[in-house]
Amino acid sequence: MLTEAVLKSYLLEMPSGHIFDLTYALFADVFPPGYPDAASRVKLDGLAADCNCDLRDNKAEGRFELIRR
């Protein structure tokens, strides 16, 4: 099961330029209640910043893309 701690660990280990695709379903598991909850999104934004990642919301494919800087 993907948890916030596991996701953070994985993001911190990714090389620069690597992209982690976080589907809206996985996002809801890690940050309930998930998309489109504003508080959940704020938590994801904070995690991305902590892990030196840019964050893109790919609505067409139903996922967030975390791109390691």
- Give residue-wise pLDDT tens across range 41-64: 999 999 999 999 999 999 999 999
Q: What share of the chain is helix, strand, coil (3-state, %, to 5)?
A: 45, 25, 30
Instruction: Measure the CA dihedral 28/29/33/36, to 10°.
Output: -10
Global pTM reads 0.94
Report the domain count for the chain.
1
pLDDT of residue 1: 84
Distances from the Cα of 62 to the Cα of 22, 31, 56, angstroms = 9, 15, 11
User: DSSP assignment, residue 51?
Assistant: T
pLDDT of residue 26: 96
Domain assignment of residue 21, given as a range:
4-68
